[in-house]
Structure 1
Amino acid sequence: MLTIRDITVRLGGRTILDQAGATIPKDGKVGLIGRNGAGKSTLVKAIIGELEPDGGSVDMPKRARLGYIAQEAPAGTRTAIEAVLDADVERKELLAEAETCTDPNRLGDVHERLIAIDAYTGDARAARILVGLGFDEEMQNRPLDSFSGGWKMRVALAGLLFSEPDVLLLDEPSNHLDLEATLWLENFLQTYPRTLIVISHERDLLNNVVDHILHLQNGKLTLYPGTYDSFERIRAERAAQAAAAKANQDAQRKKLADYVARNSARASTAKQAQSRAKMLAKMQPIASMAEDPSMSFDFPSPDELRPPLVTLDLAAVGYEADKPILRRLNLRIDPEDRIALLGRNGNGKTTLARLLARQLEPMEGSLAFSPKIRIGYFTQYQVEELPSGSTPLELMTRAMTGKPPLAVRGQLGRFGFSGPRATAEIGTLSGGERARLALALVTRDAPHMLILDEPTNHLDVDAREALVQALNDFAGAVILVSHDRHMVELAADRLVLVDSGTASNYDGSMEDYIDFVLGRNQKKAAKPAAEPQAAPVKKAPGLSRDELKALRRRVTENETRMKRLQLQLAALDAVLADPGSAKGDLAKLNIGEIGTRHAAFSEELEEAEMAWLEASEELEAVMGG
């Protein structure tokens, strides 16, 4: 359906794509991934014809329709539903022709085509898509100019889905969506009947929707069959093989170099030394598959405060006098709490976050903070408003006025800005780097409570995993608003549902909530908001902050250990099934040795699973069940 033939693109003297090629299978669902700055957006521009490559081509069947959302949001006086219906140009033109056509033969052809493209159910289909993306009936009939930029982009997405192009190209479609709309979109894409290419860093979307992964790295494209998890498993196996090959070659190079050094001056061995020197010069070094070492998150630890940090008692909050958005808010936040705010956009999650960040005052009721509390509040606006002409070092120096240069450099280094990266102009940084810089700025004072409103929008999959690890290591409280449910599941211990003008503890798990959003079960009962809710009961009181931090680390370390062992066992299983496929270190082992190693790894995996289970149960007991 779509073939990328040896595309080369050079921008600003740098090669972004280097004879990159891949064939996208017809009706395949492909996830395009790559680190921030790898060139995904450049590849997209080449595919849609916005950028002329220096070499190579993109080939599609002549009549194939390519669908892609333009960067400019739709605007005007048309309603949202009208804009979606207009997106299917063929349907719109055929319906207009059917009203004016006088040629009976042509009119018959028009009606036949209208039936073929299901044109007469268009209004209902458009409405269903808009509802899935969060538009109720009133919003569907509002003019586009009455919406914010994010909601306009949702209209554009709805129009693209409605038009059903032969090749649907989506670039980070969940960035403007809440969790609920993201779940609906994932469900919709699972049954999309044509070719889909989606650029996404959402691990769950890549696992639940796509059947191929197209990986862009070092200017090259590689197509892998399967989901993101299967790609990661293959990549880990190849990384292990590359590391083993590199280690073998390094040892061989050292041996040759030692021989040359010891024997070049001796006449009896000079020729052999010269021969080995030539061999050494011809050896092409094997590159290791190391990840970017600058990708890091390390939140500074705050000093200890006694609980509670925050107490809300029948509070109300809003932006206009006598028009609160949220009422009867009862919430207690303790130093070790990890709380995720759930609910559709527009229900008040950000309003509640701003109240907790002290950017809004309660209209009624009470809001009490620990006297010495420091709060770090991260939003996407901070990322977008970073001055492009400044450097990370300049911004952090101004933000940490009076602090010694070593402390300023240390805070930047926690987030990967060491050496020349600290003095690079912000305009040259990737979206992920700017997000890390914004996080470095809001945590410079070691906050006791960290409020993160959609922190993952500019982060790739690996950076999101690093952020989860940093949050689990953080010694303060965390309030998280995110459409990335993988992050919510790994980083949050409590769920709070913001809905129907209030916020209540959600008693189910994330899996329960996902089922509810998709209509697979009934809403879990929320604790009544009429009276103040007590903090979760600690079933194992008396744990210090360091002890709780160590317990969290035990959980995550054993998760990582389990994952590593599962990958190693998968590689051994492949060799046991096909001994001829053994490569690298495994090729040196006989079947008996492989079987022995498999048994040892299996036993170690069982131990890791038991350790993870024990730590998880202990943590669950500490956090209140």
Structure 2
Amino acid sequence: MLTIRDITVRLGGRTILDQAAATIPKDGKVGLIGRNGAGKSTLVKAIIGELEPDEGSIEMPRRARLGYIAQEAPAGDRSALQAVLDADAERMSLLAEAETCTDPNRLGDVHDRLIAIDAYTGEARAARILVGLGFDEEMQNRPLDSFSGGWKMRVALAGLLFSQPDVLLLDEPSNHLDLEATLWLENFLQTYPKTLIVISHERDLLNNVVDHILHLQQGKLTLYPGTYDSFERIRAERAAQAAAARANQDAQRKKLADYVARNSARASTAKQAQSRAKMLAKMQPIAAMAEDSSLSFDFPSPDELRPPLVTLDLASVGYEAEKPILRRLNLRIDPEDRIALLGRNGNGKTTLARLLARQLEPMEGSLSFSPKIRIGYFTQYQVEELPSDSTPLELMTRAMTDKPPVAVRGQLGRFGFSGNRATAGIGTLSGGERARLALALVTRDAPHMLILDEPTNHLDVDAREALVQALNDFAGAVILVSHDRHMVELAADRLVLVDQGTAENYEGSMEDYIDFVLGRNQPKSGDKAQVEGKPARKNGAVAREELKALRKKVSETETRMKRIQQQLDALDAALADPSSIKGDLAKLGIGEIGKRRTQAAEELEQAELSWFAASEAMDEYMGVTA
């Protein structure tokens, strides 16, 4: 059991944690959540002892082992496998002692403990963890210094999982992982036998792994039982209750204030008025639920282009004089396409994204673009390379030199940088704010095709939902690379698997792909489902065409509803004030105008029914439950 006992932490004159308290249940699986900048990392530092609270304490059983990944990635000439084995200090120490111990009684105790911690299967367990995180046998035996920083962090994660601490503390563990490794990690954590605290903004991980949500807001901690979806339902109910209570209190305050104003001057009622004035003064205002007005993503709509936007015909792509990484690419991208690229890191997803972004040229075959196409390409490097000594306004002004200041301000406002936020130093922005600024920059020219490579790494859950909504409202094509399958399921209607040196349409659903990665529900050799591949591909293509048709119907119906509503507004105005009637309506009598108003209302009702039906059908295709 871990107890956070009324801790307060102040940094730079600002209170980050304010009498925060919670008790983590023994062997519980807890998701620690909160908005960007809420203080989650500060709380973690306090738990691991890196930061001393100004007040309060954090208590754990004396012998409990707490495991946390250090910020510095492991390095040296050890192999990845050896680094993972070394992470279990007790195992390594006991094995060494077993080799040199001469005391038979002590040696017996050592062997008993080695058996208890399953030490003799350690190498096989470590190898399985590394495989799950994307390391094949060759990679497991490579020295640490041969890996990039991201892969070194995977080794650190593997070592932490292998050491199996009593309290496992993970801070955004999927940020360095691809979708496939994220799925494996989620599966691993579901059966973790000890206490788990994970900071994550992955909705699916929080729904499938944790049994409690620890919410950090305004310096306070609240522990909720259940998954993230359960937490959201409870929070929504509390928000509704708070809003109702606030409205009721506002009504009471108004009533009391009116009474005091009307009766203070009368001798007969002055005493009662004074009493009510005291009641009014003692009433503590019920605060409204905190809302973040900067949660904003609004991609500018591009002008229309005829399809296709991009065509790849037997194209190969790679880097300089090296052999091609991807070969025989055949791909067509149309204006309304929503494509997610699947496949493990290192298989070529980013290479394909760079080819589509015109950063690479094909080595063989052909690649053609619509002549007037504009492309927006977002990567994590852009977020990390934003100049800290500049401001969003300065940066956008330099990027939009041919635009007036109002257009520059308008583009920043689309992504939540209005007023003082536009002139704040970039160095003071949170990771999520920097990601939004990078998105504002890459979409400043209203691109016809938006390529997003891991756009969610710095975004919290609410910001990810806002991004999904913005992508679904975007009028151009979207190419998405993301380990957040919730985003993939909601924002993509076409899957492309990048694997074995090529990229091909994946005709199954996202659920099928998850089963494939985890080895679940796999067809046996000769199964009907495996033999009849062509009909499945046909059905997948038909589903995509039907989804496009539904998107079009929703858009057309919305336009029709808007037109009918304008007609209704004009007819209502004419009926309300016949003297204001102008144009064609002036030729009609009041009776005819009333009939037209009735017809328009019926048309609007039918249009709304049609819109609801199409929207529900579209949601079903995209995996959303109504």
Band of TM-score, shorter chain = 0.7 to 0.9
User: Is this contact kept in 1: 2:553–2:614, CA < 8 A?
Assistant: no
> Hey, what does 2:114 align to over in structure 1?
114
Write the distance in 1 (CA, Å) between the matches of 2:121 and 2:613. 51
SS at match of 2:335: coil
Q: What is the 5 A alignment of 1:45-84? A: 45-84=45-84
Alpha-carbon deviations, 1:332-376, whole Å to 9, x = none? 000000000000000000000000000100000000000110000
Are the equivalent residues in 2 in contact too, given 1:17–1:219 (CA < 8 A)? yes
Counterpart check, 1:239 vs 2:239: yes
Question: Following TM superposition, by how much is the alpha carbon of 1:294 offset from its aligned partner in structure 2, in angstroms?
Answer: 1.3
- Going from structure 1 to structure 2, the CA distance change for 1:537 and 1:162 (only over 3 Å counts) comes to closer
Contact 1:357 1:376 in 2 (8 A): yes
Instruction: Tell which deviates more after alignment, 333-342 or 536-545.
Output: 536-545
- Alignment of 1:276 with 2:272, yes or no, is no
Tell me how far apart the structure 2 counterparts of residues 451 and 123 of structure 1 sit (CA, whole Å): 41
- SS of equivalent residue, structure 2 residue 175: helix
Q: How far is the alpha carbon of 1:521 from its aligned partner?
A: 3.1
Alpha-carbon deviation of 1:542? 10
1:538-557, aligned counterparts within 5 Å?
549=555
- Tell me what 1:602 maps to: none
1:267 offset after TM fit, Å? 4.5
AA aligned to 2:473 is D
Partner of 1:379: 379
Partners of 2:452 and 2:258 lie apart in 1 by 55
Task: Note if 1:335 corresponds to 2:335.
Answer: yes
Map Cα deviations across residues 521-565 of structure 1 (whole Å, 9 max, x no partner).
33897999xxxxx997975799799755467999xxxxxxxxxxx
Task: Find the counterpart in structure 2 of residue 225 from structure 1.
Answer: 225
Aligned residues of 1:333 and 1:535 also touching (Cα < 8 A) = no
- Seen in structure 2, the aligned counterparts of structure 1 residues 609 and 113 have a Cα distance that, compared at 3 Å, is farther
Once residues 558 and 374 of structure 2 are traced to their aligned partners in structure 1, the CA distance between those partners, rounded to angstroms, is 23
Taking the aligned partners of 1:513 and 1:403, their CA distance within structure 2 comes to: 45
Cα offset, 1:266, TM superposition = 4.4
Seen in structure 2, the aligned counterparts of structure 1 residues 553 and 395 have a Cα distance that, compared at 3 Å, is: farther
Deviation, structure 1 residue 277: 2.5
Q: CA deviation at 1:113?
A: 0.9
The 1:545–1:410 alpha-carbon spacing in structure 2 relative to 1, beyond 3 Å, is farther
Q: Does 1:488 align with 2:484?
A: no
Contact preservation (8 Å) 2:554, 2:615? no
State the shift of 1:389 in Å: 1.4
Counterpart position of 2:214: 214
| Paired residue secondary structure (2:319) | strand
Contact 2:168 2:195 in 1 (8 A): yes
The answer for the alignment partner of 1:358 in structure 2 is: 358
Letter aligned with residue 35 of structure 2 = R
1:419/1:542 CA distance change after superposition, 3 Å: closer
Aligned residue for 1:311, secondary structure, equals strand
Structure 2 spans left out of the alignment, 5+ residues: 524-528, 535-539, 561-607
TM superposition shift of 1:262: 3.5
Q: Which has the larger radius of gyration?
A: 2
Taking the aligned partners of 1:26 and 1:610, their CA distance within structure 2 comes to 52
Structure 2 match to 1:603: none
| C-alpha distance in structure 1 between counterparts of 2:612 and 2:507, whole Å | 23
What's the secondary structure of 1:323's corresponding residue? Answer: coil
Identity across matched positions, percent: 88
Q: Tell whether the 8 Å contact from 1:376 to 1:442 is kept in structure 2 after alignment.
A: yes
1:307 CA drift (Å) = 0.4
* CA deviation string 1:379-402 (max 9, x = no partner): 100111111111111111111112
Q: SS state of the match for residue 312, structure 2?
A: strand
Query: How far off is 1:610 after superposition?
Result: 10
Tell me how far 1:328 sits from its aligned partner: 0.4
Checking the alignment, whether the CA contact within 8 Å between 1:67 and 1:167 is kept in structure 2 is: yes
Indicate the larger mover: 141-150 or 536-545.
536-545
Number of the residue aligned with 2:586: none
Structure-to-structure mapping, 1:240-319, within 5 angstroms: 240-319=240-319
Q: Which amino acid aligns with 1:292?
A: D
Aligned to 1:168: 168
Is the contact made by 1:475 and 1:549 (CA closer than 8 Å) also made in structure 2? no
Write the distance in 2 (CA, Å) between the matches of 1:536 and 1:362: 30
Within 1, Cα distance between the matches of 2:158 and 2:559?
42
One-letter code of the match for 2:42?
Answer: T
Q: Which amino acid aligns with 2:463?
A: A
**Within-5 A mapping of 1:525-604:** 549=555
Structure 1 contact 33–215 (Cα < 8 Å) conserved: yes
Matched residue SS, 1:324:
coil
Q: For 1:7-86, list aligned pairs within 5 A.
A: 7-86=7-86
Alpha-carbon shift at residue 137 of structure 1 (Å):
0.1
Contact kept? 2:4, 2:58, Cα under 8 Å:
yes
* CA distance in structure 2 between the partners assigned to 1:83 and 1:540 by the alignment: 51
1:552–1:619: 8 Å Cα contact kept in structure 2?
A: no
Q: How far, CA to CA, are the matches of 1:387 and 1:456 in structure 2?
A: 20
Query: Match of 2:323, as an amino acid?
Result: K
Residues 1:477 and 2:477 are matched in the alignment: yes
Query: How far apart are the structure 2 equivalents of 1:197 and 1:161?
Result: 13
Q: 1:79 to 1:539 in 2, by over 3 A?
A: closer
Structure-2 separation of matches of 1:511 and 1:447: 31
Q: Distance in 2 between matches of 1:536 and 1:144?
A: 47
Aligned match of 2:197: 197
Question: How many Å separate the matches in 2 of 1:613 and 1:508?
Answer: 25
Equivalent residues in 2 for 1:145-156, closer than 5 Å = 145-156=145-156
Paired position in structure 2 for 1:597: none
Tell me which amino acid in the other structure corresponds to 2:133.
L
TM-score (norm 1): 0.86
Please give the alpha-carbon distance, in whole angstroms, between the structure 2 residues aligned to 1:541 and 1:307: 17
Stretch deviating more after TM superposition (261-270 or 179-188): 261-270
Of 394-403 and 474-483, more deviation after overlay is shown by 394-403
Q: Which runs of 5+ in 1 are unaligned?
A: 529-533, 555-607
Per-residue deviation, residues 18-56 of structure 1 (Å, max 9, x unmatched): 010101000000000001000000000000000000001
Give me the whole-angstrom Cα distance separating, in 2, the residues matched to 1:328 and 1:380: 28
More displaced 10-residue stretch of structure 1: 290-299 or 160-169:
290-299
Structure-2 separation of matches of 1:385 and 1:142: 30
Change (3 A) 1:553 1:421: farther
The 2-side partners of 1:221 and 1:553 are apart by: 46
For 2:515, give the aligned amino acid: D
In the other structure, the counterpart of 1:100 is 100
Going from structure 1 to structure 2, the CA distance change for 1:473 and 1:552 (only over 3 Å counts) comes to farther
In structure 2, C-alpha distance between the alignment counterparts of 1:618 and 1:412, rounded to whole Å: 31
| C-alpha spacing 1:104/1:612, structure 2 compared with 1 (3 Å) | farther
Q: Which amino acid aligns with 1:435?
A: A
**Residue 615 and residue 541 in structure 1: after superposition, are their counterparts in 2 closer, same or farther (change >3 A)?**
closer
CA RMSD of aligned residues (A): 2.5
Amino acid at match of 1:82: Q
CA distance in 1, matches of 2:185, 2:401: 46
| Distance in structure 2 (CA, Å) of the matches to 1:90 and 1:287 | 51
Aligned residues: 564
* Residue identity opposite 2:138 in structure 1: E
| Contact 1:332/1:535 (<8 A) preserved | no
8 Å Cα contact 2:554-2:611 kept in structure 1: no
Question: 8 Å contact 1:540–1:621 — kept in the other structure?
Answer: no
Residue aligning to 2:594? none
CA deviation map 1:140-177 (0-9, x unaligned): 00000000000000000000000000000000000000
Distance 1:111-1:610 versus aligned 2 partners, 3 A rule: farther
Letter in 1 for 2:80: A
